[in-house]
Amino acid sequence: MSDSQNPSSPTETSATTSTPKSPKIREKGRLMSASEIERTLVRLAHEIVERNNGSQNLGLVGIKRRGVPLAQRIARMIETIEKEPVDTGVLDISFYRDDLSTRDVRPVVEKGELGFDVNGRDIILMDDVLYTGRTIRAALDALFDHGRPKSVQLLVLIDRGHRELPIEAKFIGRIIPTSRREIIEVKLQEIDGDEQVLLVELVD
């Protein structure tokens, strides 16, 4: 999960945090099954190709953690459609958090190689969940530290609302209205050994 929506980290929903008392969460329901995630990614891959007139100048960049397998999967789908390889890269965004609110959450870019030259490329930046927009802001700053893309388009699997910055996704898997006490939990096989999207809620 990204954009600081998670009580433990931006990309993992867990009852374990660095705070003395762990938050309690309860599952409210499943939003997407494995097959629904797959169909959604296929649709998004076709949308990317259509809106960019092919894939010749594309580069896909996943925000660690769950943005990375999304980028890798969609790259393979685009390669199948266009019959040519697509570059993929990784941005590592860490977070500092001292409470369970969205305040005092500071995205920190971890230095590292992106994976390919972004100069002059049409970059598709990918993350699992779009929330406040702060993760994406940090990722954009990090991306431009690596070079100057021709364009940057944002893709997210889930847009849950509650933006704090004027950042919007061009490619959206699903829009899920949420309360601030709710958390979107994305599980992907490559990281979690499971494949689904859940809605969970913090309980007192």
Nearest to 159 by CA among 175, 170, 143, 178: 175
Look at residue 165 and tell me if it is in a domain: yes
Measured CA distances, 141 to 43, 75, 100, 110 (Å): 28, 23, 25, 12
pTM assigned to the model: 0.83
Residue with tokens 């209205």: 177
- The one-digit pLDDT tens for each residue of the chain (204 residues) are 566 565 444 433 333 334 456 778 899 999 999 999 999 999 999 999 999 999 999 999 999 989 999 999 999 999 999 999 999 999 988 754 333 344 455 666 555 678 899 999 999 999 999 999 999 999 999 899 999 999 999 999 999 999 999 999 999 999 999 999 999 999 999 999 999 999 999 987
Please report whether residue 1 resides in a domain: no
Q: Flag whether 143 is in a domain.
A: yes
**Can you give the residue range of the structural domain that contains 179?**
25-203
Report the distance separating Cα 190 and Cα 183, nearest Å.
21
* 103 within a domain of the structure (yes/no): yes
The span from the CA of 113 to the CA of 62, in Å, is 13
* Beta strands per DSSP E along the chain: 24-32, 58-64, 87-96, 106-110, 122-130, 151-159, 171-175, 182-187, 196-203
Residue 116 within a domain = yes
Distance CA 194, CA 182 (A): 21
> How many domains are there within the chain?
1
